[in-house]
Each structure stands twice: as C-alpha cells, then as structure tokens.
Amino acid sequence: MRFNRITTDPEMMGGQPCIRGLRIPVATIVAMVADGLNSEEIVGQLPDLEPVDIEEALRYAAEAVQERELPLRTVG
C-alpha cells in the first residue's frame, strides 16, 4: 500500500511518521480518533490538516499494526 500523505524525516519529530511534512504525527491523529473526536473536530483543532489526512493516518496505523508483533496479554 502506498501512503502519499505520510512522511518521515529523522530531523523532525524524531523520525515519527507525520502528515505531509507537518509536525503532526500520525500517532497524534490516531489518539484523537481514539478519544472520540470526529474529522471535523480534529481539523478544527489542527487546521493544517485535511479530512483525507485523517483517513490516510488511520490506514497507515492499521497497516503498521499488521506489520509487527506487539506484546498482548493472553486472555483465558
């Protein structure tokens, strides 16, 4: 999958994936969605974003989770 709106730069934000070279990490957007904010509210707080940035950040995060193993507690 190709992500045109996600950028990384080791000199910016510690190399975290960000939106379009802005200092807005993907993780910040995902956390805002997890906190219950909708796209309109997120763009209201981060006006440099566009709704498509939020969509791509969520797709990127979903892909990133599939690419590595994370420590999870086994239920049972």
- Taken in order of first residue, the domains within the chain and their CATH numbers are 6-66 (1.10.10.10)
Is the alpha carbon torsion for 24, 32, 58, 43 positive or negative? negative
In this prediction, residue 72 carries a pLDDT of 60
pLDDT in tens, the chain (76 residues): 689 999 999 999 999 999 999 999 999 999 999 999 999 999 999 999 999 999 999 999 999 888 666 666 666 6
Q: What is the pTM of this model?
A: 0.84
DSSP reduced 3-state for 38: coil
CA distance readout (Å), 28 to 25, 67, 74, 75? 5, 20, 27, 29
In this prediction, residue 7 carries a pLDDT of 95
